Amino acid sequence: MTNQTTFIDVASVLKLLSDKTRLQMLALLQIDECCVCEFVEFFQMSQPSISQHLRKLRDARVVHEERRGQWVYYSLNLSHPQVELINNILNQCPSQIAAIETWNASGNRVKCATNILAGSKEK
């Protein structure tokens, strides 16, 4: 007997994704994991504000958190019970591929990313 999703379950996910910042965070994570400082720079928002949004996403297990040294990387949790709903929603959002490419090309992307990438290559 599979547990049926309730209206409350769906409404909770929608409430979580109904903030434009959190929604775009997930759209970015759909492409690649990000660390907190990258989000801070991308959204031009304060670090506590970003951390608080990420905490909500993490508490709901929509994203997964992984510490690597000083940095904490976030990624989509593809095993979330509502992953199908979440993907359907994200597919209705503007693709962030071009935005990420522009960001990379701009040279504004924070150094932690390249550090980590360089670090992982060394292993």
Using rule CB under 8 A, residue 10 touches a second copy: yes
- Encoding tokens for residue 48? 């506590």
Residue with Cβ nearer a second copy (1 or 120): 1
Which of 8, 67, 120, 123 forms a contact with DNA (CB under 7 A)?
A: 67
Residues 12-31 touching a second copy, rule: CB under 8 A, are 12, 14-15, 17-20, 23-24, 27
Work out what residue 117 binds among DNA, a second copy, none; the CB cut-off runs from 5 to 8 Å by kind: none
Which one-letter amino acid corresponds to residue 45? M
Query: 65: which residues sit within 8 A by CB, 6+ positions away?
Result: 54, 58, 72, 73, 74
Q: By C-alpha distance, which of 69, 74, 65, 68 is closest to 26?
A: 74
Which one-letter amino acid corresponds to residue 94? P
d(CA 39, CA 26): 11
Residues 56-115 touching a second copy, rule: CB under 8 A, are 82, 84-85, 88-89, 92-94
Residue with Cβ nearer a second copy (24 or 77): 24
Residue with Cβ nearer DNA (57 or 90): 57
d(CA 115, CA 117): 5
Residue with Cβ nearer a second copy (50 or 112): 50
